[in-house]
Structure 1
Amino acid sequence: MLMTANEQAPADAPGGMNSEQSASLYRLMTWLSPSFPVGAFSYSSGIEWAVEAGDITNAAALRDWLGAMLSDGSGFCDAVFLAQAHRAASAQGDAPLRGIAELAAAFVPSRERQLETSTQGRAFIEIARSAWPCEGLDGLIAACGGDTVYPVAVGIVSAAHGVPLAPALQAFLHAVVANWIFAGARLVPLGQTDSQRILASLEADVAATAGRALTASLDDLGSATFRADLAGLRHETQYTRLFRS
């Protein structure tokens, strides 16, 4: 049976969590799981070109590349947009939400990255809205205007369902990093154990980036991952490609 955001989860939720915490955890684990059909597996965020160019040749190089993208590049910027969208949606502020959505869409540095984040954002909203109908979500989507990029989509859906911002940020960044590692593992290539070691080594970076995003404003947006941005641009003309970005 479907349950809207206004309905209660069972009062005797297991593990010492109350009903709201249990529902939030369940939804985050579903929405940001690799099995949630937003098509993330078909994008590499420029990692494919970085492997082709010889910038990423082994597990250590991939870990360093992803650490920079997370802390100083698109990972941090997307986390800020998610946090700002979540707060604006929670406050029912249509004008601020539209401005955040438009800035997030304009902040993407390449055509393929624009395709990546807008396609995932659209799929995330459509599937979440269909499987988890929620009062007020349609209004938030309309307030964004046009296509809604992935971090903004996660922010407004989480807010509409009453999912707290901090765990939503952590889950989002974990999903993004896990998908980057999946791409790198196919391209380098790497084994499953090395992939999990990289994911484990980035745990503190994910927590730190989420913490920074929680206290950041839109004025704090910015990145310094020029090589990663170039990789995203050059992938568009790469001769042989497995991924769409």
Structure 2
Amino acid sequence: MLMTTNEPDPAAASGGMTEREAAALYRLLTWLSPSFPVGAFAYSSGLEWAVEAGDITDAASLRGWLAAMLTEGSGFCDGVFLAHAHHAASAADHARLKEIAELAVAFVPSRERQLETTSQGRAFIDIARAAWNSADLDAVIAACDGGVVYPVAVGLVSAAHGIPLEPALHAFFHAVLSNWISAGARLIPLGQTDSQRVLADLEPAVAATARRAAAASLDDLGGATFRADLASLRHETQYTRLFRS
């Protein structure tokens, strides 16, 4: 279940979701859906250069590349930032939230990746705020006092709406991974079935990375995906480009 409440609910008594749980699930599915207009389709997180360089040529090489990015690179780090932003926003620790937001912006390894994550973070907050605003959300956004990267935005919006960390993390990783696969499918190219196989194969990695990120401290931040970081840097000067990163 996504949420709990002390008030009795007929649906809960019969084994169904409470009204609050259903609302939380509805919002989470909406916010992390490919149709939520944060502009993710315009970015490849360096995959475009990796395909041109011959590092990614088929479903198997895409799966390996994305598994590394998820578990040992930007995926894990973004999950840690989401978790800590969620904790700080839930506790209304605005000073801590500001520190996390500033660190997350500084942690991005390239100019284009920073454009990608800050643009999506700003769009995520603006649209969620316009459709599902709350006083708690206004307060935590004001506390950040500057640029907010995408995972921090997801963490603080989820917390402001009472959505627990675990489902927020899983939904975030699914959204990010789906966008990476979509970019790879257009670049390699891949068919729809192969794309879904890659997503299915990475399901255990998503669950494991979500558990690690939820338990990690900020001292655990770091990655070993040097080739992926170089890809995002080299994409800036790539001659022919379909994507913005």
Report TM bin, short chain: over 0.9
Aligned to 2:156: 156
**In 2, Cα distance between the equivalents of 1:11 and 1:117?**
41
**In 1, Cα distance between the equivalents of 2:147 and 2:140?**
13
Shift in CA distance, 138/228, structure 1 to aligned 2, threshold 3 Å? same
State the Cα distance separating 1:53 from its structure 2 match. Answer: 0.2
Q: Deviations over 1:204-232 (max 9, x none)?
A: 00000000011100000000000000000
TM-score by length of 2: 0.94
Aligned to 1:4: none
1:1-245 paired onto structure 2 within 5 Å: 12=11, 16-245=16-245
Q: Deviations over 1:21-48 (max 9, x none)?
A: 2111111100000000000000000000
State the Cα distance separating 1:167 from its structure 2 match. Answer: 0.1
* Farther-moved stretch of structure 1 (128-137 vs 167-176): 128-137
The residue type paired with residue 40 of structure 1 is A
State the Cα distance separating 1:11 from its structure 2 match. Answer: 6.3
Shift in CA distance, 15/192, structure 1 to aligned 2, threshold 3 Å? farther
State the Cα distance separating 1:97 from its structure 2 match. Answer: 0.3
Does the aligned pair in 2 maintain the 1:11–1:19 contact within 8 Å?
A: no
**In 2, Cα distance between the equivalents of 1:11 and 1:35?**
32
**In 1, Cα distance between the equivalents of 2:19 and 2:170?**
20
Q: 2:189 aligns to what SS in structure 1?
A: coil
The residue type paired with residue 241 of structure 1 is R
Q: Deviations over 1:98-154 (max 9, x none)?
A: 000000000000000000000000000000000001121111001111111000000
Does the aligned pair in 2 maintain the 1:170–1:206 contact within 8 Å?
A: yes
Q: Deviations over 1:140-192 (max 9, x none)?
A: 00111111100000000000000000000000000000000000000000000
State the Cα distance separating 1:15 from its structure 2 match. Answer: 7.2
Sequence identity percentage: 74
- Moved segments of 4+, more than 2 Å: 10-15
Aligned to 2:4: none
TM-score by length of 1: 0.94
Structure 1 gap segments, 5+ residues each = 1-7
**In 2, Cα distance between the equivalents of 1:107 and 1:240?**
27
Q: 1:209 aligns to what SS in structure 2?
A: helix
**In 1, Cα distance between the equivalents of 2:168 and 2:34?**
15
**In 2, Cα distance between the equivalents of 1:48 and 1:148?**
25
**In 2, Cα distance between the equivalents of 1:123 and 1:99?**
21
Structure 2 gap segments, 5+ residues each = 1-6
**In 1, Cα distance between the equivalents of 2:154 and 2:65?**
25
The residue type paired with residue 235 of structure 1 is H
The residue type paired with residue 199 of structure 2 is L
The residue type paired with residue 106 of structure 1 is A
Shift in CA distance, 239/15, structure 1 to aligned 2, threshold 3 Å? farther
Number of residue pairs the alignment of both structures matches? 237
Q: 1:54 aligns to what SS in structure 2?
A: coil
RMSD, aligned CA:
1.4
